[in-house]
Structure 1
Amino acid sequence: MKAPLFLSASPMGATARGHTLAIEALENLRRHHPSLKVTARDLSQGGFGQITADYAEAILSHADHADPAFTASEILIRELEETDALVIATPMHNYTVPVALKLWIDLVLRAGRSFGFRDGRKVGLLADRPTLILVSSGGLVRGVAASQPDHLSGYLTDVLKTIGICDLSFVFLEALARSDRAEQAIAQGRQEIAADERFGSGPTAEVALLDKVVLPICCRT
């Protein structure tokens, strides 16, 4: 394994519950790969690019990948190319992804660079890799008791498939706005991660707590 890429999209940063479980999952990977280094990007802090008129013109004119308008997009795509696992911790905002994650998506999905076309259909140009997606929501979004629709998981599945990433595992942390359900949701999410064959703690390993985790992370904002 080269390195995992960790994307955090919560405005709560490192205090977000999804972020906490993501760190635990990354520490589980460390047990199998002691020298593992993590590339981390806090999308909620912004500063990683934007969609401008120059960017749109470069897309429409099929500009070279070295065009200055693609600088931010190239950095984000190379982060994916240089890693072989992906962990995303994101809240659900208004039924779907938050604006910070949507901007990352818009910069990473680029015709001729991260996806191409075959028989008129989009095909991914990036390598598949194990991907863990932790989704935090204030209400229930799954099952008959769902109180709100889920437009996040299907959308994010389609987005990642477009660039070639299909090996996805979703863990939902639901009803976090309810004090009587939040701790139960975290415990269940932790169990689901522990049972995952790639990101899990294994049958004998202990799941690390956030205040005990020390990872050499290349933070990028």
Structure 2
Amino acid sequence: MKILHIDCSPRPVSHSRRLSAAIVARMRARHPEAAVVRRDLGRDPLPHADPGYAAALSSPDALAAGLASGAARLSEQLIQELEAADIVVIGTPMNNFTVPSVLKAWIDQILRIGRTFSSSAAGKTGLLRDRPVFIGIASGGIFMGERANQPDFLTPYLRAALGCIGLNTLHFLPLQATAFLDDERLAAARETLLAAI
């Protein structure tokens, strides 16, 4: 059993980090033998796609050359981390209605035609094995439920992006209104989310 644990907050202590750590702890309580592979995008952000990687994606021949030259080395490393995981846990804040740029940079590296998805006239087909993905989201506002007062582009985007590569078993755990709740109510809300796993 392998757990890929990804955090996206730039803050060393944050609501999304606490939530993702609690999700991982819950998974490890069920699977004590589980190994955790850590990818902290908030502390060690990935570079955005460089010209060599972008050029490698432009055609099958360019991709073959890019693989040979090492332009897709980071992409391959991240895809292999994902392939090796039985469970994926992502902790992310909601930034301006959607994912932070560090998570988008990770997604840009793992969505690779011919490697994690294929494309045809019928659309895109994921090439990765499905596995549970738990996404702990911290939001200062409310974006889900009947009290939602802001748009949500984060969850539909992640459904589309991860679904494109074959990851369809997504579990969103939204910790909302963090800007308005005291520590006691936040802890209670976090426990309610964890109880639903």
| Shorter-chain TM-score above 0.5 | yes
User: Larger deviation: 139-148 or 67-76?
Assistant: 139-148
Q: Point out where structure 1 has 5 or more consecutive residues left out of the alignment.
A: 197-221
TM-superposed CA distance for 1:71, in Å, is 0.9
TM-superposed CA distance for 1:47, in Å, is 4.7
Matched residue SS, 2:48:
coil
1:157 equivalent in structure 2: 159
Q: Matched residues in 2 for 1:150 and 1:121: separation?
A: 25
TM-superposed CA distance for 1:33, in Å, is 2.0
Counterparts of 1:106-117 in structure 2, within 5 Å, are 106-117=108-119
Tell me the TM-score normalised to structure 2 length: 0.91
- The structure showing larger relative contact order (alpha-carbon pairs under 8 Å, at least 6 residues apart) is 1
RMSD: 1.7
Q: Point out where structure 2 has 5 or more consecutive residues left out of the alignment.
A: none
Does structure 2 conserve the Cα–Cα contact (< 8 Å) formed by 1:49 and 1:73?
A: no
TM-superposed CA distance for 1:142, in Å, is 1.8
Does structure 2 conserve the Cα–Cα contact (< 8 Å) formed by 1:58 and 1:67?
A: no
Counterparts of 1:116-131 in structure 2, within 5 Å, are 116-131=118-133
Cα deviation 1:159-202 (Å, max 9, x = unaligned): 1101100011111111111145x642442232221231xxxxxx
Which 4+ residue blocks in structure 1 deviate beyond 6 angstroms?
Answer: none
Cα deviation 1:23-80 (Å, max 9, x = unaligned): 2221222223222110011111235343111111111132224441101111110100
Distance 1:137 1:54, change over 3 A: same
Counterparts of 1:150-189 in structure 2, within 5 Å, are 150-180=152-182, 183-189=184-190
Counterparts of 1:1-221 in structure 2, within 5 Å, are 2-13=1-12, 15-62=13-60, 63-64=63-64, 65-180=67-182, 183-196=184-197
1:212 equivalent in structure 2: none
The percentage of counterpart residues that share the same residue type is 39
**Would you say how many aligned residue pairs link Structure 1 and Structure 2?**
193
Q: Matched residues in 1 for 2:68 and 2:21: separation?
A: 34
